[in-house]
Copies of this chain bind each other. A is one copy, B any other.
Amino acid sequence: MPGGSSDRLRGVLALVREKGGRITTTRRAIVAALLDADDHHVTAQLLAERVQVGNPDIHASTVYRTLDTLTELGVVEHTHLGHGATVYHLTDRRHQHLVCESCGAITEVPLAVFDPLVEVLRDSYAFRLRPEHVALSGVCANCAGSDLDRGAQDEQ
């Protein structure tokens, strides 16, 4: 469904313009790539590589800056997986990430699972948890099988 995607593109760009930003070829390409990657977990680097397929001289630093801008607009959000990787995604697909320490697999879980925790932390610690901002770490179903007796030890 190409139409839906380009509607979203238009929507994001409109938002950029509303806030006084300019619509440039570069931005259009970056936002398009971001929409394309919607259902995956893209790092800034990966996004840069993809954008550069069609527009070889869009610089990585521009991708970072554009992601910053979109974050300020509330369109984009990032999540820190452990280890240093930071992935970006649109805010309308908010969810929590579980990263396997063994194989690196990413599982998505709905934020609702965290509601009880959010409440406890709010009530007992006055802390307003934003669970989606960092990925949780542990061992996934596959690896748990082979790791049962040892526990997890791989780096993350």
Contacts and interface: CB of A to CB of B under 8 A. Distances in A.
Interface residues of A, number: 37
A152 interface: yes
Contacts of A152: 128, 130
A138 B144 contact: no
A130 B138 contact: yes
A26 interface: no
A121 B101 contact: no
A134 to B, nearest CB: 5
A116 B117 contact: yes
Interface stretch (A9-17, A33-41, A53-61, A79-87): A79-87
Given A137-B130, A137-B133, A138-B130, A125 B98 contact: yes
Interface of A: 72, 80, 82-84, 98, 100-101, 107, 109, 113-114, 116-117, 120-121, 124-131, 133-141, 144, 152-153, 156
